[in-house]
Amino acid sequence: MKDLTHGNIWRQILLFTLPLIGANLMMLSYQLVDSIIVGTFLGKHALAAVSQSYPVLFGVIALMIGLGSGTIVVISQYFGAKQYDKVQLTSDTIHIILIIIGFAIGILGFFISRWIFTYMGTPDDVMDDAVTYMSIYLGGIVFSFGFYTISSLLRGVGDSVTPLHLFTASSVLNIFLDIVLIAIFRFGVGAAAFSTIVSQAIVYFIAIEYINRKKSTFKINFLKMKLNRAICIHCLKYGLPNGLQQFLVALGGIVLMSLVSGFGTEAIAGYGAAIRIESIALLPVMNFSSAIAVFTGQNIGAMMTERLKKGLSITLIYTLGCALASTVLLQIFSVDFIGLFGKDPLLIENGAIYLKILSAFYPVYAVMFILSGYMKGSGAVRATVAITIISLWLTEIPLAITLCKTTGLIEGIWWAIPASWVIGCICMTAYYYSGRWHNKSVIHIDSTF
């Protein structure tokens, strides 16, 4: 556990973020390794199937991560205020909520997978593999929910190192199973989803044993869990808007994928490869955003409001440096990176153009995302949802559809994405300077920052 309410801010934010980056790099390796192994050993149609599944699965996982983010807001503020009894109740409550949701999504996903892919315009030569991959993944999604819940709880109390160990163990196991089931036995695209779920389930139960043995501010005992109504309301109050925000982003991804599908299998595969590379390139941005959310939550809980602005400035400096580095790398090596996923010229061309266009705007994305994390840590989660609706659904989606249809070029879709980042950054900056995010916390503070 790490108290972020005292000490050197430069050092605290960096040391808290580095394990987050490592952990999420391991998390992204699930999709990256699945895609590389599937594309290499099963071909471009299997890779396209995994790529088609990605926006839908991201939507489900985004809902889970959003609820987890809400939990981080609640638990970090209770931890900062030294209210450890409520830290335990928060752990119990969010576990119960997410287990119920996980089972419900798993059952629902089994029945509607094919319908979703039909809506997305999935090509016939990709449809069966896509349905198989997503059905297996959603069938075990409850273990993913539990896995991410533990990570969120640990991060909320300032522990970003243990999640790194958990994600590393799960990633290594996933790679091993992928190689055995796909590269050696050639079991097909469903084996990639099976490998991910099994690896997360095993590490989830190992994590429970570890947490219960360690002297900690919370324990995990399914037979003794209590659902606290007040804390449930807090978690949902902050988690559901976060989940809704992430779900809206994922739903936008489904709409974009339906547009990309009209350009053929090579376009789908190239887009799928590009967004996986981009996920890694933007990893520091996303994790510094998580760090500033926890930092803000703990310091608000401890009423250390004088540290907040300094923490935000330091995080922006770190993040802009990382974003600029990613921009330079992708402008130079985009073709080489996409080439890891296959040698088809159209696949490489589509993916490389995507990376070149979007990477030029990564610094804009960085500012938007860090301000979003700061707002979430302060409890102003509804504003971030509103800004997501403005930037995504009132800018990106309409512009992508318009440019795609008027130009007939896939690049029209690509240009719509950074346009939405610019709008989102402007809105987020304006909201920050408005000061309307004051006093949105779980633990009410009658002061201005």
CB 107 within 8 A of CB 126: no
Range in 45-59, 120-134, 319-333 the model is least confident about: 45-59
Q: Could you tell me the two tokens for 56?
A: 């839908």
Closest CA to 256 of 61, 58, 44, 124: 58
pLDDT digits (tens, 9 = 90+) for 308-317: 889 999 999 9
Whether residue 62 has pLDDT greater than 90: no
For the chain, give percent helix, strand, coil, nearest 5. Answer: 85, 0, 15
pLDDT digits (tens, 9 = 90+) for 134-156: 999 999 999 988 888 888 888 87
The mean pLDDT of 149-169, rounded to a whole number, is: 85
Residue 120 binned pLDDT confidence (cut-offs 50, 70, 90): confident
Whether residue 207 has pLDDT greater than 50: yes
**pLDDT of the residue at 1:** 56
Residue extents of the structural domains in the chain? 9-434
Give percent above pLDDT 70 in the chain.
94
pLDDT digits (tens, 9 = 90+) for 356-365: 999 999 999 9
- Rama region for 123: left / alpha / beta (φ>0; ψ in -120 to 50; rest): beta
Closest CA to 21 of 145, 147, 167, 175: 167
Average confidence score pLDDT of the chain = 85
Q: Name the more confident of 225 and 235.
A: 225
**pLDDT of the residue at 328:** 97
Range in 48-62, 280-294, 363-377 the model is least confident about: 48-62
CB 239 within 8 A of CB 68: yes
**pLDDT of the residue at 449:** 34
pTM of the model: 0.72
Residue 440 binned pLDDT confidence (cut-offs 50, 70, 90): low
